[in-house]
Amino acid sequence: MSEPVFNAANSQASTLYLPPGPWQTVLDCLCERFSAISRAQWQDRIARGRVLDGDGQPISAELAYREGLRIHYFREVPNETPIPVQETILYADEHLVVADKPHFLPVTPSGEYVEQTLLRRLIRTLDNPDLVPLHRIDRHTAGLVLFSANKQTRSAYQSLFPTRQVEKRYEAIAKALPHLTFPRVHKSRLVEGEPFFRMQEGQGQSNTETRVEVAERNGDLWRYSLYPVTGKKHQLRVHMAALGAGICNDPFYPDVVKDAVDDYANPLKLLAQGLRFVDPVNGEARIFESRITLDW
């Protein structure tokens, strides 16, 4: 399969507008601005067509520097560690792709993950560089993720989530809460927490809402069905911890597990289980169910 070319909409490449400076070539600028990457590495990326100009064309190592020039470059992580899990494509047509994401696999490139992401894997498998995720789920969470496969109809699908036209159902296993009444609705204001990757409940008007139901009781552990009305970062994990039942194997909530490493035998017991919506392109009712299951 061919290597994906640059497409501004799919966010595979980072963009840099060259700042003022004394450099003779774009390569000189990149080497000084990103000093952690050696000149040989930048030369190799340029030779492989991984640094592009504003029109999406590969640059040469001799391209003259010009202030304000727009450059796109693909992030790469040398010796990126493989993530030993496998995604499943549940549905694909010319407009929409639905995948079952396993635990621990990021949806999009970030930090130390570039190639080992659901997006990059699907682009390679389907040979479609126009794939764009329509929503996100956490790296630690498994389950359904929807992708736009066609930029001509992308905006129609993208509008579904902010306008709350998608019914999302999650499943979680957590401590039993016999002292609370279910079903119940939990609302709170989520704000950035500490450390930087966590969220926390704060004062003020609520900006998150989750309906919580009990699906199954098994002694000290219950299986919960979670229906998020809003879609804030870590919303379900924070809300369950706030109720007194942090989701099993959560390394962030209610407390951060120091020096936690990915334990593939004991993943976070949280699954994006179901999605329902009316397809904005053909008007059909869409119902997707994850094939992943959470065991006790």
39-79 pLDDT per residue, tens: 988 998 888 888 899 888 889 999 999 999 999 887 776 67
Percent of the chain with pLDDT over 70: 95
Burial per residue of 201-232, b for 16 or more beta-carbon CB atoms within 10 angstroms, e otherwise? beeeeeebbbebebeeeeeebbbbbbbbeebb
**Orientation of helix 39-47 relative to helix 26-33, angle to 10°:** 130
Average pLDDT score over the chain = 91
Q: Are strands 96-101 and 88-92 parallel, antiparallel or unpaired?
A: antiparallel
More confident residue, 283 or 38: 283
Mean pLDDT of 260-277: 96
Is the domain 8-74 a CATH 3.10.290.10 member? yes
- Say whether pLDDT at 289 is over 60: yes
CATH class of 88-289: alpha beta
3-state secondary structure string across 31-91: HHHCCCCCHHHHHHHHHCCCEECCCCCECCCCCECCCCCEEEEECCCCCCCCCCCCCEEEE
253 vs 241: CA distance, rounded Å: 6
pLDDT tens by residue, 217-256: 999 999 999 999 999 999 999 999 999 999 999 999 999 9
Q: How far apart are the two ends of the chain, measured CA to CA in Å?
A: 40
Residues in the chain: 296
Residues 6+ apart with CB under 8 A from 272: 101, 137, 141, 142, 143, 144, 145, 168, 170, 290
pLDDT class of 140 with cuts at 50, 70, 90: very high
226 vs 185: CA distance, rounded Å: 10
pLDDT class of 106 with cuts at 50, 70, 90: very high
- Domain boundaries in the chain? 8-74, 88-289
